[in-house]
A and B are shown apart, each in its own frame.
Chain A
Amino acid sequence: MSKSAYFHGCTFLAALAILVGLIFARPTEPESSLPAIQSVHTVTVERCAECHAEICDSYKQTPHLRTLRKPTDADVFNHFVGKQVTSRGVAFAFEQRGEAVVMTSQDSGVEKKVDWMFGSGEHALTGVSVDVSPRGETEIQQLNVSWFPHCNLAATPGSNHSPENPLLGVHLAAAESLKCFECHSSSMSVDDGQIDFASLEPGINCIRCHSNAQQHASSDGSLPSGVAWDKLSPLESIGRCGECHRRPDEFTDDELTPDNAMLVRFAPVGLSQSPCFKAQFDSHDGQRLDCITCHDPHAPAAKNIGFYTAKCNACHGSQSAGSICPDSPASDDCMHCHMPIVENENVRVTDHWIRIRRDRNFLEN
């Protein structure tokens, strides 16, 4: 072979190699941005505390950080293990078996391992058992008995057990199961619907709201930590909280009625329907109402009624421009009438639809 032919041949083979490389380098699946929660970039609260010690110390007290725990967690364990309850005619019990906690139905003898405990305990603690679907996706059974601060063990909202149906829990399909973990943890890796529990970061920590916390930390604070929360409109702001607590724009007009008892469980939805919330769009006095008006996201919710009344008075007090309550202008508890605690399927929550409830069917604050 001549030198020229050799040169041409080699050049062609090099071009061919580059071409094959180009073809293989192309993605074979459309690149899709993963849900932020499935990002593998994590940063711990401790890392954030290096610069934001005060905020982090305060945040460590919040229920958000405890929304997902193992049943063996000391704060959870005592509420369940060794306890029994008869709910809707079916007797359930929680026992410890070695390292594990199991729930048994005493009538049928069926038992189920409790893998995770959902909830901070502020309103409830609900156990789930993790299963795998035939396609290898993570699925859960939401157990039929939960712990509530006011009544201890009782039926979980949505459970449907009865003596004829003495099941231990309600089976949730893979997509629904995934959503449960997405709202109760900060990051996790998911492969084809299967959660890698080793990568799961339980509870809501800094990165859940500050999605770019890692780049912020690694740039020593020069790069932003994610969404500029202070730049969000009130509606966008409650929509962000609504990712887990439900958004108002995802309900139809038929569902957004005062008679819908379920709405009390979705604070941003109730708040969005409140005259106080709607009024801010018409007024130009600079007053703003959204979730963080009353709830400092870096601290536990205040237990002091006076704190919230003061917030109301910022607009409705005698020195302010807003309308003053005709019934009790000098009241130190606006909440009792306008944001009472109500019970829905054993869950006691504050109704965030600021109004005077027609039914008066609520509990004392």
Chain B
Amino acid sequence: MLTYVIIAFWVALQPLASDALWWDLSRGREVLAGSISPSRSLLELDQQAESDWLGGVLGFIAYALLGSSGLMLFRVAFVSSVAAILWLSVRGAMTATNFLFASLTLLCLLPAANSVSLVYDVIGVTMTLWFANRWFDDAQPRFVVTLAVVCGLWANFGACYAIFLPIVISVAIGRFSKSSVSGRSFAIGMTALIACAVLNPRAGLGMVDSIRRMIVVGDIDSAHRGTDGMLHTWLGLSTEYGVVIPVAFVGISVLALLRQFRLLGHSPSRFWQIASVGLVCQYIVWTSQANLSMAAVWIAMTCVSVGWPVNRSSDKRFPAAQHLQILGCCLLLIGVVAIYAPNRLGWGIDAAQDPRYLQNALPEDLPPGTAWADSLRSAGLLAWIHPAGIRLQDVPHRAMLGGRLRRHEDIRHDLVGQRKTSYYRGDGSQGGWWLSLQDRQTEMLLVASTNVELIRGLEPTLWKPLTLDSPVLAYASTGNAAYSKKILEILQQRHFIDRGVWAFQRPQSTGSAFDRDRFGLAQDVGSIEQSVRQASVFASMDCPHAAMRVLQYEQTHHGARLSDQIAHCQMQMLHREYAVASRCSQMRALATTIACQRAGLKVAPAFPMPDLTESSSSLRKTVQLYLSGRWTEAISELSAIEPSEEDRYGLAMILLEAGRIDEGQELLQGLAVTTKSTMRLLVIEALASLEFNLSSS
């Protein structure tokens, strides 16, 4: 019991991190403002009603009343109620397997608990299973009525309610020929359930939408990662929640398979009940990770309910072996939680969903127009901020349901590929983002900070960022007078972090809703992952020196091993040298070679490297120190010798990265006078990069 409670605490007491959070709350706000189709109210291109229109209402009320604590209480209530139902299900037949079913399912609740809308699908599955089992056990009409009410509510709150049909059918398969529910009653009951399920603003088409949401018809999921294959789902989940969650689901699946085959000789109907549930759940989970919590609950509750007749014994005493097995499971689960708990526990909203940076970045008077958003997170943040004048164009999952997803995806693809001007595709359609965005009167682009591919793609275009460190970056066009002041300010900031006297520090806790500790007790609230993400954003914005400064901070202050990221930054800087001077310096070539060796990467065969055997031993030692983050020692090492031109250039580069701009500049100016070789081009370029220049930005 204690282990179970600890797991429940771990799942419940984590900040809300779903990318859909603000989108759901915005929808809730629209509904309370009188809209019956909140997505249509929020989106310029959406013309359809939606079945799950109430999905954000309770979350919004909780947030409006108690702020982020209200959302956390909502989360705690959800986790506790599902945990209680699971416990009630296994309590009567407590075996190691059933305990594992309950505990692992509890772990799998994490993705749903992060959201305020996925919870309804999990609750819907739980309640449907609970009452369907009772209906087939007792055949009393009140259970059908209750089931119909659950169905009706689910059809207005949750997006995946169409799964209630397979759930009831799977229960019927398990009770085949044993239930007192007649075929006629079953048919009437199912008709009533279906009738209740169409009582929503989208009516019967809501079922179609629901199925499409679940199995992600249209080649893409709402998180914009493409259709999830097995590997994608695994990677997506493990990146977001650690390896625990996908392993827990696989554990539940294996246990279900074992139980299913144990039943093979005893009850084919029960065998097929678990089999059918397993097959449906495996399909929906491995094609869209958003279904994981719902599927885990369905599998576990089915297995536990099916297991009763087999495992239930008249002797209520536990054999010693069972005790040992359960104890082993407890220790294992507590161990897993103990490893992952410290980094994840918290109260409030995850920093990755913090809308304040974006809000501050937007000028007060925005010209009328629309905004294109790359993901649900970026759309949700803008929908929540709700700036006057700007309307969102679309969000991926609504675009999918409305048949606009291909167009949405094409624009993203063209932006990533820097395809501004028109071109024609193999299917005859016209590509090129310029005309597409112009047709939509696009004034702003919103890009999640994790989408480094798109950030890199936008860099050479006329779209410039309005923020540098927001979880969602807003971009406006340089030709747009309303944003020009802000763009200029950010370009100057960008130059400062890359070439100015700037040093990175993790954000300090202020005890806000977006700080995990909530009370401002922690010194800094960031994490290595957050810093690495920020470094990736800087690198994608063509600010590799700023990225190196972030990485160096994490190396020296938190002992992070970031060889992969450092190698990529070095390659980027080497490439820049080659692009401007058709040659590379010894320092950068040496740093790239060593960094790639450390990271186990191959140096891209892009550049004719200088002869590194000619580099001085001091330069080699300096580069080793530099790559280890010991920049001050690296500078001392090279300052102590009679340096060659290459050594002096290398020293100047490290001085500039370390923020000792004056010393670096002086060294470069000296080199510019003395050197006659092509090194001069590198020196001139390095000196020019110290000046803020709009044309190079």
A37 to B424, CA, bound (A): 8
Q: Is B229 an interface residue (CB 8 A)?
A: yes
Cβ-based interface call for A79 (8 A) = no
B431 — nearest CB in chain A belongs to which residue? A35
- In the complex, which residues of chain B have a beta carbon less than 8 angstroms from the beta carbon of A141? 582
Known: A135-B604, A171-B579. A24 touches B279 (CB 8 A): no
Q: Is the CB of A173 within 8 A of B229?
A: no
Measured between beta carbons, the chain B residues less than 8 angstroms from A167 are 580-582, 681
Interface pair A227/B428, CB less than 8 Å apart: yes
Contacts of B226 in A (CB 8 A): 27-30
Query: Within 8 Å of chain B (Cβ to Cβ): is A136?
Result: yes
Whether A134 pairs with B227 at a CB distance below 8 angstroms is no
Interface contact A182-B219, CB-CB below 8 Å: no
| Residue numbers in A under 8 Å from B681 (CB-CB) | 165-167
**Separation in Å of the B125 CB from the closest CB of chain A?**
20
Known: A16-B279, A27-B227, A175-B417. A39 touches B605 (CB 8 A): no
A150 at the interface (CB under 8 A from B): no
| Least Cβ–Cβ distance between B258 and chain A, in angstroms | 13
Instruction: Please state if B265 and A2 are interface contacts (CB–CB under 8 Å).
Output: yes
A9 and B264 within 8 A (CB): yes
Q: In the bound complex, how far is the Cα of B514 from the Cα of A355, in angstroms? A: 63
Question: Cβ of B435 and Cβ of A250 under 8 Å apart?
Answer: yes
- Among B265, B428, B606, the residue within 8 A (CB) of A1 is B265
Cβ of A32 and Cβ of B413 under 8 Å apart? yes
Chain B residue numbers with a CB within 8 Å of A287 are none
Please list the residues of chain B having a beta carbon within 8 angstroms of any beta carbon in chain A: 219-220, 226-232, 260-261, 264-265, 268, 271-272, 275, 279, 282-283, 286-287, 409-410, 413, 417-429, 431-432, 434-435, 457, 460, 479, 568, 571-572, 574-575, 578-583, 604-606, 678, 681, 684
Contact of B426 among A4, A35, A169, A250 (CB under 8 A): A35
Chain B residues near A179 (CB, 8 Å)?
419, 421
Encoded as 1 (CB less than 8 Å from any B CB) or 0, chain A from 1 to 35 comes to 11011001100100110010011101111111111
Nearest CB to that of A131 among chain B residues?
A: B606
A34, B426: Cβ atoms closer than 8 Å = yes
Q: Which of A51-59, A238-246, A324-332, A335-343 lies at the interface with chain B?
A: A238-246
Question: With an 8 A cutoff between CB atoms, is A293 at the interface?
Answer: no
Known: A24-B229, A27-B227, A30-B220. A8 touches B422 (CB 8 A): no
A134 engages B582 (CB within 8 Å) = no
Which residues from B are CB-within-8-Å of A23? 229-230, 282-283, 286-287
Cβ-based interface call for A132 (8 A) = yes
The answer to whether A133 and B604 have CB atoms under 8 Å apart is yes
* Residue ID in chain B nearest A212 by CB atoms: B428
Which residues of B are found within 8 Å of A226, using beta-carbon distances? 428
Instruction: Verify B427–A8 contact, CB threshold 8 A.
Output: no
Q: Which of B264, B265, B580 contacts A171 (CB 8 A)?
A: B580
With A19-B283, A33-B425, A166-B681 known, 17 other A-B pairs at CB within 8 A are A4-B268, A5-B268, A8-B264, A23-B283, A26-B229, A28-B229, A30-B226, A31-B219, A32-B409, A110-B582, A110-B678, A133-B575, A134-B604, A167-B581, A169-B582, A227-B428, A250-B422
**Given known A-B contacts A165-B681, A182-B423, A250-B435, A112 and B604 have beta carbons under 8 A apart:** no
Residues from chain A with a CB closer than 8 A to the CB of B431 are 35
Interface: A313 (CB within 8 A): no
- Asked if A252 and B479 sit within 8 Å, CB to CB, the answer is yes
Of all chain B residues, the one with the shortest Cβ separation from A164 is B684
Q: Is A257 an interface residue (CB 8 A)?
A: no
Query: Within the assembled complex, what's the spacing in Å between the Cα atoms of A37 and B409?
Result: 20
Tally inter-chain residue pairs, CB-CB below 8 A. 144
Contact (Cβ within 8 A) A168 B604: no
Interchain CA distance A12-B264 in the complex, whole Å? 11
What residues on B are CB-neighbors of A240 within 8 Å? 424
- A39 engages B426 (CB within 8 Å): yes
Is A185 an interface position by the 8 A CB rule? no
Contacting pair A28 B231 (CB below 8 A): yes
The distance in angstroms between the C-alpha atoms of A179 and B580, with both chains bound, is 21
Query: A196 on the interface (CB 8 Å rule)?
Result: no
In the complex, the answer to whether A134 meets B684 with C-beta atoms within 8 Å is: no
Q: Which residue of B lies closest to A28 (CB)?
A: B229
Q: A249 contacts the other chain (Cβ, under 8 Å)?
A: yes
Please tell me if A211 contacts chain B, counting CB pairs below 8 Å: yes
Contact with B along A146-181 (1 / 0, CB 8 A): 000000000000000000111111010101100100
The answer to whether A35 touches B582 (Cβ under 8 A) is no
Judge if A247 is at the interface, Cβ distance under 8 Å. yes
Q: Is the CB of B583 within 8 A of A110?
A: yes
Kindly provide the distance from the CB of A186 to the nearest chain B CB, expressed in whole angstroms: 13
Query: For A15, what are the chain B residues with a Cβ–Cβ distance below 8 Å?
Result: 275, 279
A78 within 8 A of B: no
Question: Per a CB cutoff under 8 Å, which of A24, A134, A169 touches B606?
Answer: A134
Known: A19-B283, A131-B606, A239-B422. A250 touches B434 (CB 8 A): yes
| A81 at interface, CB cutoff 8 A | no
A365 at the interface (CB under 8 A from B): no
0/1 string, A86-115, CB within 8 A of B gives 1: 000000000000000000000010101000
The reply to whether A36 and B426 form a contact with Cβ atoms under 8 Å apart is yes
CB of A19, distance to nearest CB on chain B (Å)? 5
Contact A35 B421 (CB under 8 A): no
Expressed in whole angstroms, the Cα–Cα distance for A16 and B287 within the complex equals 15
Please state if B424 and A35 are interface contacts (CB–CB under 8 Å). Answer: yes
* A16-B568 Cα distance, complex, nearest whole Å: 42
Nearest-neighbour CB distance to chain B for A174, whole angstroms, equals 8
Question: Which of B271, B418, B422 interacts with A176 by CB under 8 Å?
Answer: B418
